Amino acid sequence: MPIVCGISIRKHSSKCTGECEVLEFSKNSPQRNSLEVSGDIKADGELQLANVSHEKELEEVKRQVEELKRENELKCKECAEACKSLKDLQNELMRKSMHVGSLAFAIEGQVKEKSKWFSSLRDLTRNLKILKMDQIKVSEEASTYKQQFLADFADMSSTIQSKLKEQVELHEDLKIKFIKGAKEQKELYNKVLDLKGNIRVFCRCRPLNAEETASGASMTIDFEAAKDGELNVKSNGTSKKTFKFDAIFSPQANQAEVFEDTAPLATSVLDGYNACIFAYGQTGTGKTFTMEGTEESRGVNYRTLEELFRIIEERKNAVRYEISVSVLEVYNEQIRDLLVSGSQQGVKRLEIKQDGEGMHHVPGLVEAHVNNMNEVWEALRTGSNARAVGSTNANEHSSRSHCIHCVMVKGENLLNGECTRSKLWLIDLAGSERIAKTEVQGERLKETQNINRSLSALGDVISSLATKSAHIPFRNSKLTHLLQDSLGGDSKTLMFVQISPNENDLSETLCSLNFASRVRGIELGPAKKQVDSMELLKYKQMVEKGKQDMKNKDFQMKKMEDTVHGLDIKLKEKDMKNKSLQDKIKELESQLLVERKLARQHVDSKIAEQFQQQHMRQQNEEEDAAPTRLPLASKISALKTCDENKFPLNIPRPLTENNSYKLSVPSATVDCPLKHNDLTEKENKENNPDIDEQPVVLKRLGRASMCPIAHRILPTPAPRRNSLIPIRTLSAVPKLPPPLFPLRSIQSEEMEDADGVDSKCLPEPTSQDSPKELKTASKKLNSVLRRSLQKKMQFKSPMQQNIRRVGVNVGMEKVRISIGSRGRMAQRVMLGNARRVPKENQLKQRWNIGTANKAAL
């Protein structure tokens, strides 16, 4: 018997397990042998049976195993597939979950962003509110500021105006005072100079030069008494003669000290007086030194011009000056222009001429315009270089000509427009040495003779001027002729008499001093001089006082100017501030406008929505109610009630050209099925209040019908004439048709076609009516109709309008107009003399409502 063993079943089953245990038991049990022995035969049969049954069972089991195997394989396959699909699904799930994750992340981000937006929107709204508040506050502030500013501005401008006026007056006053003061000052100054003497003589003595000192020359001038203006000339140790001059300058006096007393002449020249400063004396006594000086110690010429420019600068706000300089010399009675270059010299002979104003001048003489001291110095140096210099025995470098500088001054007073023209002559005369001493001959003798002659002529002129002689011999020499304008009249003359301290030059010194003494003595007597010192002091004080006053006034003016300037600046600042505030207001206003527009749009859209919903609701209700049709009268009354409740009763309802009513409803407030919500109109209405006065005209011109199904009939294109009240315009007061005749009998006509109505509905004028009567009646009717329409035309719903069309009582007792409910038929009923009815009756009258095709009551 084959022993079933070694069967291995992978999947455990209870059944299998039991059999296996049995098999195992039979194989391994120790009792097996005993069983075999004891009942072999018996057992053999049983065993065979058992074997058979076991085999069968085994077969069955095998089959089952096979089936199970197949099933198992199938299941495995399914399992594998399931695993695979599970994996796929897992992957998919993973992908999906990842996607979901990313989506969640994105959503989270969006949510965050949304919340951020919300918060920012909230912030913005809050900011907007704050801004609005700010704007209101700023507007208020601005308005108060503006008011304040305007008040301030008015106040300030009035203050400025008054101040300005005051300033102008003060300025004018000061100007007048200044002019007066300047004039006074000039006069006083002139007087001072007059008192000092028109011709003043200063004496200057040069120091002994090295040669003289070396030779042991003794001093012939005693300067002990020079302090009192007296000069003592000694000879051989004893006093020989005493001279008195306006000023005496010892050899130690420097150029500045010499010029100190000369400076007032510069002021006189700028004041418009002619002046002449000349140096007279023996050769080598220092005439050129005094007048021209050296580069280190400048002389009178340079210093005078310097003083001129200083005063010009001082007076620049009051007077404008022009200065020009000419440099010339008179040599051997001939005039030479020293500012002309060497090659041009002598080309043209210069002569002295008198112009139309009686002034003497040399035509063709170069006039160098100078604006500053550099230019002056340039001109002076040019002249000095060109000067003819001769050499004599007395002085190696003595000049043999009269060197003349002419300074021409033109002045224009900017305050009073006064113009002045004056001349200053600065003359370095040629040496006045004696011919015998210098032992000159020939050309030099001629030069000396000419020089002496001209100097003598100068003396004569001065003498004649002093004695106020009728004839002054100016023309005796070129020198005096040239100085004619500056030696006579109001001109000031200053003479420097230059002397030598050397005892050897005593005779020349005495000669010069005598000449100077004669000049001075003739001009100014001692008595006059005394007056001079007293008066001078007095006038000096006056001048000082005037100067101080002027300074004070100037200071006051400057202060006032500063105040005005400060006010100007303040005003400008206010202007700027105001402008910025205005800009801010404008900006806020525009912002507000935008916001308002948005709000309005929002409200409009809300209203439109509401209207649409209501309209839909209404339509639904109507459709529901349609099958159960109410009797017309009750419907009409219902509609009437409805309309009267919904529409304001006092709004006139105009007719259109087609005699169809255009519905006029307050678009935003009334709930009406046919309400036309015209946003643009509403906007216009809001922005333009005038529109309110006109009735709102609906866009849809459909006619309302009594038929409950069809509420509106489309407007007929042709104008309807079945009414007596055609209104052509949309104005609140409709215009009446021109000719209307009084109706005499009731005519009831059914009108099939609107176009064919005209001739039928209008009453024929009767033969009994005179044209006048007709006219009067027509007028009356017109006015009554108009009045009635104005009173009775009320703002109704389309249904109400239709009802109105049925019959119109125009307020006259016997005039009734009936119009078919569909607007096609009308019947005119009445007709008699039109007369006014009492107001109560009029009020009682109502629009008559007719049936579809019947005439009204």
Ligand X SMILES: Nc1ncnc2c1ncn2[C@@H]1O[C@H](COP(=O)(O)OP(=O)(O)OP(=O)(O)O)[C@@H](O)[C@H]1O
Q: How near is the Cβ of 332 to ligand X at its closest, in Å?
A: 16
| Phi-psi group of 301: left, alpha or beta (phi > 0 → left; psi -120 to 50 → alpha; rest → beta) | alpha
Q: Which stretch binds ligand X (CB under 6 A): 154-162, 211-219, 278-286, 642-650?
A: 278-286
Contact 243, 221 (CB under 8 A): no
Render 784-811 in DSSP notation, one character per residue: HHHHHHHHH-----HHHHHHHHHEEE-S
Q: Considering only CA atoms, which of 365, 346, 440 is closest in space to residue 398?
A: 440
641 appears as a binding residue in the annotation? no
Residue 272 or 286: which CB sits closer to ligand X? Answer: 286
Closest residue by Cα to residue 516 from 222, 288, 243, 274: 243
Task: Report CA-CA distances (Å) from 846 to 120, 253, 656, 786, 817.
Answer: 62, 132, 21, 16, 12
Distance of CA 315 to the CA centre of its chain: 39
Of residues 426, 382, 371, 424, the one with CA closest to residue 403: 426
- Positions 408 through 447 that interact with ligand X (CB under 6 A): 431
Tell me the closest approach of the beta carbon of residue 395 to ligand X, in angstroms. Answer: 4
Per-residue string for binding with ligand X, 346-385, x by CB under 6 A?
----------------------------------------
Q: How far is the CB of 396 from ligand X (least distance, A)?
A: 9
Only one of the segments 349-357, 366-374, 390-398, 518-526 lies at the binding site for ligand X (rule: CB under 6 A); that segment is 390-398
Specify the stretch interacting with ligand X by CB under 6 A; choose among 90-98, 188-196, 227-235, 397-405.
Answer: 397-405
Beta carbon of residue 430, minimum distance to ligand X (angstroms, whole number): 6
Encoded tokens for 280 = 């007279």
How near is the Cβ of 506 to ligand X at its closest, in Å?
17
Interface with ligand X (CB under 6 A), residue from 259, 289, 661, 847: 289
Q: How far apart are CA 412 and CA 590, in angstroms?
A: 61
Among 395, 452, 456, 463, binds ligand X (CB under 6 A): 395
Joined together, the tokens standing for residue 191 give 């007087």
Tokens 């112009």 found at: 355
Beta pairing, strands 826-829 & 238-244: unpaired
Tokens of 645: 């409740």
> What burial letters (b/e) apply to 476-499, b meaning 16+ CB within 10 Å?
bbbbbbbbbbbbbeebbbbbbbbb
Contacting ligand X (CB under 6 A), which of 264, 286, 811, 850?
Answer: 286
Cα gap 179→598, rounded to integer Å: 73
Candidates 264, 272, 284, 734: give the one binding ligand X (CB under 6 A): 284
Number of residues that bind ligand X (CB under 6 A): 18
Of the candidate spans 280-288, 444-452, 506-514, 763-771, the one that interacts with ligand X by CB under 6 A turns out to be 280-288
- The answer to whether residue 299 forms part of the interface with ligand X (CB under 6 A) is no
Residues 203-222: x/- map of binding to ligand X (CB under 6 A)? ---xx-x-------------
Q: Which is nearer to ligand X, 404 or 696 (CB)?
A: 404
Is 656 annotated to bind ligand?
no
Q: How far is the CB of 399 from ligand X (least distance, A)?
A: 4
Rounded to 5°, the CA angle 397-431-219 comes to: 85
Give CA–CA dist 600/723, Å, rounded: 41
Asked whether residue 283 is marked as a ligand-binding residue, the answer is yes
Q: Which residues pair with 298 in a beta bridge?
A: 293
Whether 832 has a binding-site annotation, put simply, is no
| Shortest Å, Cβ 281 to ligand X | 6
Q: Of 190 and 209, which has the nearer Cβ to ligand X?
A: 209
Helix axes 526-625, 40-196, angle to 10 degrees: 150
What is the SS3 assignment for 322-386? EEEEEEEEEECCEEEECCCCHHHCCCCCECCEECCCCCEECCCCCCEEECCHHHHHHHHHHHHHH
Q: Which is nearer to ligand X, 502 or 778 (CB)?
A: 502
Closer to ligand X by Cβ: residue 72 or 209: 209
Among residue numbers 11 through 40, which ones bind ligand X (CB under 6 A)?
none
Is 438 labelled a binding residue?
Answer: no
In angstroms, the CA 407 to CA 273 distance is 12
Question: Between residues 279 and 815, which has the closer beta carbon with respect to ligand X?
Answer: 279
**Of 207, 202, 253, the residue nearest 229 (C-alpha):** 202
- Under the binding rule (CB under 6 A), the answer on residue 303 touching ligand X is no
Write down the least CB distance from residue 569 to ligand X, Å: 58
Q: Give least dist CB 500 to ligand X, A.
A: 9
Query: Contact region for ligand X (CB under 6 A) — 153-161, 277-285, 338-346, 836-844?
Result: 277-285
**DSSP state at residue 693:** G
Q: How many residues does the chain have?
A: 857
Answer yes or no: is 364 a known binding residue: no
Nearer Cβ to ligand X (274/285): 285
DSSP 85-123: HHHHHHHHHHHHHHHHHHHHHHHHHHHHHHHHHHHHHHH
647 near ligand X, rule: CB under 6 A: no
Tokens of 448: 């000396």
179 CB contacts (<8 Å, ≥6 apart)? 413, 415, 416
Tell me whether residue 283 or residue 827 sits nearer to ligand X (CB atom). Answer: 283
CA distance 457 to 487: 13
Alpha helix segments (H runs only) across 626-663: 632-646
- What's the closest the beta carbon of residue 471 comes to ligand X, in angstroms? 31
* Cβ proximity to ligand X, 196 vs 287, nearer residue: 287
Of the pair 397, 559, the CB lying nearest ligand X is at 397
Interacting positions 474-513 with ligand X (CB under 6 A): 498
Interface residue list for ligand X (CB under 6 A): 206-207, 209, 251, 281, 283-289, 395, 397-399, 431, 498
Q: Which residues are annotated as a binding site for ATP?
A: 281-288
Q: Which residues are annotated binding-site positions?
A: 281-288
